[in-house]
Structure 1
Amino acid sequence: MRVAFFGCTGATGVFILPQLLSLGYDVSVLVRDKKKLGDLTNNSSLYITEGSPRDENTVRTVINGSDIVLSTLGNAGYGSESDGLMYASIKNIVSGMRDSKVKKLVLMEGIFVGQPTDSYTAQTLFKPFLYFYSPWRDAMNLSNFVNSDDVKNSIDWIIIRPPFLTNEIIDDKDVPTRYTHYRDCLRLAVTYKVSRQCVAHFLVEIVKQASGRDIGDFDIWSTYKHFAPTIVQN
C-alpha cells in the first residue's frame, strides 16, 4: 500500500513518517527541501517530490499511484496571518485524488475547523473567532469545501481536530493508552490539550485501518467517515 503524505516535515508529521515506513508502507511525500528529511532520504520506500502544495501538477504527481492521502498541512499558527494554504492545498489534493481514483483522505486540522454536525453550542462558541483571524477562516473554507456534496460523494474523508498541541514526549509503548477520541466537538474545550505524538499515533491507526490492518473492536472508518472527531490526552 502506498500513502501520499503532505506535511511530513511539520511538527506532527515528523512523528508519522518514520512509523509509516517502519510498518512497511511505501510513502510518497511533498517537501520544499528534501534535506529536512535527513537520513530518511535513503529509505527505498520513500518517494520524494520537491515543490509546493499550491501547484496542482506537483500535487498530482505525489498522489499518482497512491491508495490513501494523509495531510497534516497547516498555517503558520493561530493569531498569525494565513496565506490561504489549507484551502488552496485541499483543492489540489482532491483534484489529484480524483484523477488517480484515490478514495480515502485523512486530514489533521485545528480546533476551529467547524463541521455541520457540531452542536449549536460548539458552533456558537467558536464562530466569532473566524472574523478576527484569517488562519481560522482558511480552515473554515477547507471545511466547507470537503463538506460539499460534490466532494463527499467521491471522497471518504476523516478530519482529526486536536485542541492545543504540545511537544510532550511519551514512551512509545504508553502512547496508545494516553489519548481518547470523540465525535462530539464540545470536547474541544480550550482547557484540553494533546501531545503531537498521540495525534500522530491516531493518524497512523486510521491509515492502518484503511489498508485493512488491525481493525480490532473499533472501526474508525465506519464511525468517523465524513466526521471530524477530536482527540484529547488522558
Structure 2
Amino acid sequence: MGSMRLTVFGATGGVGREVVRQALDAGYEVTAVVRDPARLGVADHERLRVEVVRDLTDEDALVPVLAGRDAVVSALGAASNKQARLSPVTGPALRAVLAAMERAGVSRLAAVSAAPVGPDVPSDGVVARKVFLPLLRRALRDLYADLAVMEAELRASGVQWTVIRPPRLLNRPRTGGYRRVIGGNVPGGRVISRADVADALLASLTDPATARRAVGVAA
C-alpha cells in the first residue's frame, strides 16, 4: 500500500514527528496537521503537505484536511497532567476528528493512548499492580482520563480504529523488535521508543487483526 494518503494529527510531538518521517519513508502521501509549522522539524518533501489548524475541535476546519485521505493517525496527547486538567486535548479533538472523518468518508484511524488506560497484567506481580500503577494513575489521572474519553469516543464511533497503548516513552531509534499484545498490555512492559510507537501506529493501519482493538506495545 505504498501510496497510502495519510493525515497525521499531533504531528509536532515526539511520536507525531516519527509518524510523519516513517510514513514518508514508506512512500505515503502525508498531510501533517499542526498549530505551529516551525515545530514540525521534518524536512520539506514532495509528498508532505503541512496544514495549520488552530482549533482541533472545529469539525468544519478538519474536513478539508481529511478529504481524499485513506487513513488518519492521531499522536495527540496532553503535554502534562496539568494541561490535561485545565484543557483536555485528546478527547475533545478526537470527537471532532471522528465527525469530520464521517463527513469526509475516511474510515481508518490509529491513535496513541497509554498503557495505564488499559488492563493490568496479572503476571506483573503485586507491587506493580497494587503500588506502582495506582500511584502512576493517581499522579497522571487527568491525562489518563482525557485518553480514556478518547478511547470511549472511538468505541462509540463507526470507524475502523486501533488504539496503541505504550508505557513510558523514550527517545531511542526504531527497532521494530517491540512486543505487542492485541486486547491487553505487555507483561513487564516498562518502556518503548517513540519511534517504535510510530511504527506500531503505521503498521496497524494495514493489519485487519487490530481493527476496533486496543494494542499494548513495549520493548
Same fold (TM over 0.5): yes
- The answer to whether structure 1 residue 226 and structure 2 residue 185 are counterparts is no
Instruction: Give % identity.
Output: 23
Residue aligning to 2:28: 25
Instruction: Indicate the residue corresponding to 1:213 in structure 2.
Output: none
- CA-to-aligned-CA distance 1:57-96 (integer Å, 9 cap, x gap): 222221111110111100113x434111101110111011
- The verdict on how the C-alpha distance between 1:101 and 1:204 changes in structure 2, with shifts beyond 3 A counting, is same
Q: Give the C-alpha shift of residue 29 in structure 1.
A: 1.6
TM-score by length of 1: 0.77
Q: What does residue range 78-117 of structure 1 map to in structure 2 within 5 Å?
A: 79-82=81-84, 83-114=87-118
Letter in 1 for 2:47: S
Match of 2:9 among 6, 9, 16: 6
| Aligned residue type for 1:51 | V
* 2:181 aligned with 1:182: yes
CA distance in 1, matches of 2:149, 2:64: 24
For each residue in 1:130-187, what CA deviation from the matched residue of structure 2 results, as whole angstroms up to 9, or x when unmatched? 6972222111111222122xx1xx21110000011111235xxxx122x110125342
Query: Which residue, 106, 126, 134 being the options, matches 2:142?
Result: 134
SS in 2 for 1:142: helix
Inter-partner Cα distance in structure 2 for 1:138 and 1:3 = 24
User: What letter matches 1:230 in structure 2?
Assistant: G
Structure 2 residue 169 is matched with structure 1 residue 200: no
Aligned to 2:172: 168
Which runs of 5 or more structure 1 residues have no equivalent in the other structure? Answer: 210-219
Given residue 229 of structure 1, which amino acid in structure 2 is its aligned partner? Answer: V
Query: What amino acid is the match of 1:93?
Result: V
Change (3 A) 1:132 1:10: closer
Distance 1:55 1:185, change over 3 A: same
Note closer, same or farther for the CA distance 1:167–1:29 as it changes in structure 2 (3 Å cut): same
The residue aligned with 1:217 is none
- Contact kept in structure 1, 2:59 and 2:96, CA below 8 Å: yes
Q: Distance in 2 between matches of 1:157 and 1:96?
A: 15
Query: Alignment RMSD, CA only?
Result: 2.6
Which ranges in structure 2 are unaligned for 5 or more consecutive residues?
A: none
Provide the aligned length of Structure 1 versus Structure 2: 205
